[in-house]
Chain A
Amino acid sequence: MSGFSIGRAVEFFLGLLEVFNPVVEPYRRFHEKLPPKVQQTVTAFIFILPFGILYGIFTILPIFQTFYISLHKWEIMGTNIRYIGLRNFERLLTRDTQFHQAFEQTVLFVALTIPIIFVGLCFALMLNRPIKGIGIFRTIFYLPNIMAVTVIGLIWARVFASSSRGLINAFLENFDAGPIPFLDQGDLATLVVSFTTLWWTVGFSMLVFLAGLQDISQALYDAAKVDGANRRQQFRHITIPGLRRPFAFLCILQVIASFQIFGQVDVMTGGGPAGNTRTIVYNIFETSFLYFQVGYGTAMAVIMFAVLLVISLFQLALFRDQGVGN
């Protein structure tokens, strides 16, 4: 394909658009007589239109629909729709112990996955050295992060399977020990899912911290050395404050992500044992697609949305703090 260039492709594409000239030309003459701001408004609206349509259908409208549906008894086939006011919420907040349990379990997951950030920091510090060949480990530790949850879940569910069909228990069997019921016991299963999440996502925190570490000016360290600061003091007074921004960023992202844990649970435990690892999103999924109670499911979504909204407000404040938010 000699002579191919993006520029030429663009010209060709623009040439194709000239088909519309008979329609566009008369308008263009009219357009040029308009005041500049009106002109730009027309152009801008045309540019935004494709985005606006999709955004309206798939983001804005569903927000209102979520609230609307949550006020109804609504079955998934669209049958049996009946307005019941706030009764879904009343049931959710006062009587539904399963939802309460799922909410607590989700908060527990959030708490158990926050340490991922600290592990990521340790990894970043471990790799932040000017040694030849150390870059390869960056790649290795980040690699799990880009794999799908089904792959990760499958592997770790098999490492931790409770019977002798699990790697660890098969290994223990050689010494006549075990089996340890990793996934058959609520607390253990929670830990296993959290650990899997750690293994899966720690590379992301690591990379964000590595970028943050490289942003800290070497001059600060040099000045500290001149002043006789030892390595611990340098870490305490230069590195830690220098990483404040990535740290805040990761905290919020981690909390939001953990609040929506679904894939790991679905693949590894199916919410079990005995509903012990059921999270909010898993509960919404079960209520809506197993019991077909979409109305009730959306009510749960509204509550989750409210919680996440508060967290996101922190996020927005953070963006603004960085001077990138408009």
Chain B
Amino acid sequence: MTVVGAELQRKRQLIERRRGSVYILAVGAFALVWMLPVIWTLVTSFRPEAALQRNLASLIPYPFTTENWTFILKSSQLWKWLGNSAFVSTTHTLAQLSVCSLAAYAFARLDFYFKRPLYLLVLIGLMVPFEATFLPVYLLFSNLKLHNTLIALILPGIASSFAVFLLTQFFRGIPLELEEAAMMDGAGRFRIFLIVILPLSTPVITALAIFTFLGNWNSYLWPIISATSSDVYTIVIGLRKLNQAWGDVNFYGRDMAAAVFTAMPIILFFFVFQRRIISGIAINSGIK
């Protein structure tokens, strides 16, 4: 390549890169506007009530106060609700994974009587939204006197058709030879499931775990009807109740701090599992 040619190419690259940074800046400006309400919420949580009474529409936390946050962080209620959420969602997720992966293994690998009708019965669940059947479930828990317990928040939804469907599909794709080798060594089905199938399914199981956890953590309809005593609120419901109790007149900043407090754990969770979440959406939506 001639000197002139090399120079020309370098120039083109430079222009390209500059165009790229202009583009990034434009997208960044748009993202900033898009996220303005979040920034405003965060700023408002650091402003004193008196200043908020004068003017709400400000993005400058001056005068600055940590009063709202001290109040929120000292509230034993909020921490308790956070604990409830963590316990309920973790248990729910672990239970769903165990129960559904076992069933999925049977559907994927065993040849048994009534297999097709049973699998069809499982698939029916894909078409039944919880919103259509939650009233009998509510009555059941009423009869068992199990409302206002954490168990009531954990149980519904553990047996997920979607989870069985997804896992069955994945297990079917695992080469049979691996299993046969283990069987030669005298391993039983349960052992094969634990030491051959599960380790090979880590990606799909992690993705499923993350979305089950998020879904349960964020669920609203069921906990708001089942959990009516403040001891068993999840953080999501607790925020709603605080918001109702405080109204939007007197404790504006405090309420905003509570909202950020509620969002924080799940944002942390998101940043930890970011990659898995983003690739998991492709898995869950059946695109890849």
Q: Which residues of A contact B (CB under 8 A)?
A: 6-7, 10, 13-14, 17, 36-38, 40-41, 43-45, 47-48, 50-55, 57-63, 65-66, 69, 76, 78, 126-127, 129, 131-134, 137-144, 146-151, 154-156, 158-159, 161, 164-168, 170-171, 173-174, 199, 204, 207-208, 211-212, 215, 245-246, 249, 256, 260, 262-263, 266-267, 281, 284-285, 288-289, 294, 297-298, 301-302, 304-305, 308-309, 312-313, 315-316, 319, 322, 324-326
Chain B residues closer than 8 Å to A62, beta-carbon distance: 133-137, 140
The distance from the CB of A239 to the nearest CB of chain B, in whole angstroms, is 15
A sample of 12 inter-chain contacts (CB < 8 A) reads: A37-B111, A37-B113, A44-B115, A45-B106, A47-B110, A54-B155, A58-B157, A62-B133, A154-B239, A284-B135, A305-B133, A324-B169
B159-A55 in contact (CB<8A): yes
Q: B127, A309: Cβ atoms under 8 Å?
A: yes
Check B55 for interface membership: any CB of A closer than 8 A.
yes
Size of B's binding interface in residues, CB under 8 A: 101
Query: Total number of A-B contacts with CB less than 8 angstroms?
Result: 280
A174 to B40, CA, bound (A): 17
**Interface segment, one of B3-11, B178-186, B215-223:** B215-223
For A66, the chain B residues whose CB sits under 8 A away are 132-133, 135-136
Whether the pair A165, B249 counts as a contact (CB closer than 8 A) is yes
Query: Nearest-CB distance from A22 to chain B (Å)?
Result: 17
**Given A60-B121, A246-B285, A312–B133 Cβ distance below 8 Å?**
no
Residues in A with CB closer than 8 Å to B288 are 211, 215
Say if the beta carbon of B73 comes within 8 Å of chain A.
no
Complex CA gap A61/B281 in Å reads 31
- B residues within 8 A CB of A17? 190
Is there contact, CB below 8 Å, between B281 and A171?
A: no
Residues in B with CB closer than 8 Å to A156 are 37
Q: Does B63 contact A (CB under 8 A)?
A: no
Contacting A at CB under 8 A, from B156-194, are: 156-159, 161, 164, 169, 189-191, 193-194
Min C-beta distance of B160 to chain A, whole Å? 9
CA distance A126 to B30 in the complex (A): 11
Q: B239 touching A148 by the CB < 8 A rule?
A: yes
Tell me the residues in window 249-281 of chain B with beta carbons closer than 8 Å to chain A beta carbons: 249, 252, 255-256, 259, 262-263, 266-267, 269-270, 274, 277-278, 281
Q: With A63-B128, A207-B281, A308-B127 as given contacts, are A161 and B133 in contact (CB-CB < 8 Å)? A: no
Question: Nearest-CB distance from B42 to chain A (Å)?
Answer: 10
The majority secondary structure among interface residues of chain B is helix
Known: A37-B112, A140-B35, A141-B31. A151 touches B57 (CB 8 A): no
B158 touching A155 by the CB < 8 A rule?
A: no
Asked whether any CB of chain A lies closer than 8 Å to the CB of B240, the reply is: yes
Residues of B within 8 A of A10 (CB): 194-195
Contacting pair B127 A297 (CB below 8 A):
no
* B143 in contact (CB, < 8 A): yes
Contact A165 B126 (CB under 8 A): no
B120 to chain A minimum Cβ distance, whole angstroms, is 9
Candidate in B23, B40, B193, B287 with the most chain A CB atoms within 10 angstroms? B287
Quick one: which of B37, B98, B221 contacts A167, CB cutoff 8 A? B37
Are the C-beta atoms of A126 and B27 separated by less than 8 Å? Answer: yes
Given A44-B106, A304-B132, 12 other A-B residues pairs in contact with their CB atoms under 8 A: A41-B110, A59-B159, A63-B133, A65-B136, A147-B218, A154-B239, A159-B37, A159-B40, A165-B248, A207-B278, A262-B220, A267-B240
Q: B91 interface residue, CB < 8 Å from A?
A: no
Give chain A residues whose Cβ lies under 8 Å from the Cβ of B111: 36-37, 40
* B113-A54 in contact (CB<8A): no
A211 in contact with B133 (CB, 8 Å): no
Q: Which of A78, A165, A322 has the most CB of B within 10 A?
A: A165
> Given known contacts A165-B252, A249-B285, A305-B132, is B110 in contact with A40 (CB within 8 Å)?
yes
> In the complex, which residues of chain B have a beta carbon less than 8 angstroms from the beta carbon of A54?
99, 155, 158-159
A260-B286 CB under 8 A given contacts A6-B199, A51-B102: no
CA distance A141 to B270 in the complex (A): 13
CB pair B136–A61 under 8 Å, yes or no, is yes
Known: A133-B24, A134-B24. A262 touches B135 (CB 8 A): no
Q: Is the CB–CB distance between A148 and B286 below 8 Å?
A: no
- Which of B133, B139, B156, B217 has the most chain A CB atoms inside 10 A of its CB? B133
Q: Which residues of A contact B218 (CB under 8 A)?
A: 146-149
Contact A148 B121, CB 8 Å, known A14-B194, A249-B286, A312-B126:
no
Complex Cα spacing A197 to B259, Å? 18
Complex CA gap A50/B119 in Å reads 15
B217, A148: Cβ atoms closer than 8 Å: yes
Q: Are B263 and A59 in contact (CB under 8 A)?
A: no
Assess A151 versus B259: contact at CB under 8 Å? Given A45-B112, A78-B143, A305-B132.
yes
Quick check: B164 and A51 within 8 Å, CB to CB?
yes
A44 to B194, CA, bound (A): 15
